[in-house]
Amino acid sequence: MKELLKHIIFDQREKDISQMIERDIDISLVNSPEVLVISGIRRCGKSVLLQQIRSQQTEQDYYMNFDDERLINFKVDDFQTLYEAFIELFGEQKTFYFDEIQNIPGWERFVRRLHDSGCKVFVTGSNANMLSRELGTHLTGRYCQIELYPFSFPEFLKIKEVYPQQKDFYTTTGKSMLKRYFDEYVKTGGFPRYIKDPNTNYLSTLYENIIYKDVVTRNKLNGERELLEMVYYLASNATKRFSYTSLAKTIGIKHTETVKNYLEYLENTYLLFQVMKFDWSVKKQMNNQKKVYFIDNAIIGKVGFNATDNIGQLLENLVFLEIKRQGKDVYYHDDRIECDFIMRENGHIVSACQVTRSMKDEKTRQREINGLVSALNAYNLTEGIVLTDDETEEITIDNKKIHIIPIWRWLLKQRTREKHTVTPLEIPMGIFIPIAFF
């Protein structure tokens, strides 16, 4: 085993990251003693971020990617052998880098031993439940976590080598340029490789790996057809409400508990997210209808079916993802009138938001404004926003200020982190990555 591990170590050793877009993270996490966990869906850039961190460290040699078929028989007992191989090859070091570590059951015990002996450990993983369960059991108080998403719109512009300046928000040429790239981003999404080469075969392979490796195989499922049909239905109806009972009936699944389990497995891969109707009663939240959003717009386009233009659906999904990047808890509001999103921080509702393609139709305008005002009144908020494809306006109703803003402008004006002194429009633009300590 040790000789095989040495071969793999050297095979995985070199990776060119010079042409890859940097992700903005808090440098204090890199230098802190806690285990740094980078989690997120497959192919969103976790491994690249790990390599970027590794390239900036003095000690870089103790690296292993466990998403390698040669490690199929690797067990928790083999970590000691891997440790010995590292020492024999590179001498004693105190910094470790483990990619896709959730593939090895019991990994957290070895990482805890390293941490307790004074080592700095960086790990990545693609399964939310496995990571949270294992981290919570054996690494409580010993780790901090970054949830990484596919590229944001500012990062999409970086990969296109477009760096907006203040004047671009006001000149006809600048606004037209940003809107053109935004229209592309709405459909292309944020998976780095797909942005560079929008080949649908890549999306197919990515989706199949998530379904078969991360859901079917990992959870030992037999109902493959039911699972695929459910994802197809949800992608075709993203952002719309559903209940477990109605979903089971539509797909032909006998038990609603099966639907709940499938959704949990899919959420654990970061493929999709369930959003609940807000209620101060958790029990009522659980019993109300849910809405579902996907990790990336390109996945919706590839997996789902839409007989008509679904730009409104894609815009709402995109806004949801940005709210998630900001680290806020997100719900929808419904008190006979719906508001798409309300955001909660530290136990308080802090903002409300509607998303619509256009406010030009009077019926649509009234629906969006009434839904937003309903939410503002319900949670004692004085301001709210309506995000549109490309409209700007400010109105006041019942002492409530409503900002109507183009989504592309809103995305570019989101602050990276409060500790930064640069303005959101200064170059280079960064990405907000929610950080959590445990």
Tell me how far apart the alpha carbons of residues 207 and 232 are, in angstroms, rounded to a whole number.
Answer: 11
Euclidean distance between CA atoms 270 and 34, whole angstroms: 24
Residue where the block lists tokens 């015990």: 109
Cα–Cα distance measured from residue 102 to residue 74, given in angstroms and rounded to the nearest whole number: 12
Structure tokens at 178: 């940003």
Classify the C-alpha dihedral 418-275-312-336 as positive or negative: negative
Cα–Cα distance measured from residue 203 to residue 217, given in angstroms and rounded to the nearest whole number:
20
Beta bridge partners of 355: 387
**Residue pair 167/29 in contact by the 8 Å Cβ criterion:** no
Give the torsion through C-alpha atoms of 431, 433, 434, 436, to 10 deg: -150
Question: Is-contact 353 320, C-beta < 8 A?
Answer: no
Nearest to 339 by CA among 404, 396, 297, 386: 386
Whether 343 contacts 350, CB under 8 Å: yes
Per-residue pLDDT of the chain (438 residues; tens, 9 = 90+): 999 999 999 999 876 665 678 776 677 788 889 999 999 999 999 999 999 999 999 999 999 999 899 999 999 999 999 999 999 999 999 999 999 988 898 899 999 999 999 999 999 988 776 667 667 777 888 898 888 999 999 999 999 999 999 899 999 999 999 999 999 999 999 999 999 999 999 999 999 999 998 999 989 998 799 999 999 999 999 999 999 999 999 999 999 999 999 999 999 999 999 999 999 999 999 999 999 999 999 999 999 998 678 999 999 999 999 999 988 999 999 999 999 999 999 989 999 999 999 999 999 999 999 999 999 999 999 999 999 999 999 999 989 999 999 999 999 986 433 333 223 333 233 333 343 333
pTM of the model: 0.90
Torsions phi, psi for 253 (to 5 deg): -95, 130
CA pair distance 2, 381, nearest whole angstrom: 61
Please give the DSSP secondary-structure letter assigned to residue 217.
I
Give the number of other CB atoms < 10 A from CB of residue 360: 10
Q: Where are the alpha helices (DSSP H) in 146-255?
A: 153-159, 172-188, 192-196, 200-208, 218-219, 224-236, 244-251
Pairing of strands 400-406, 338-345: unpaired
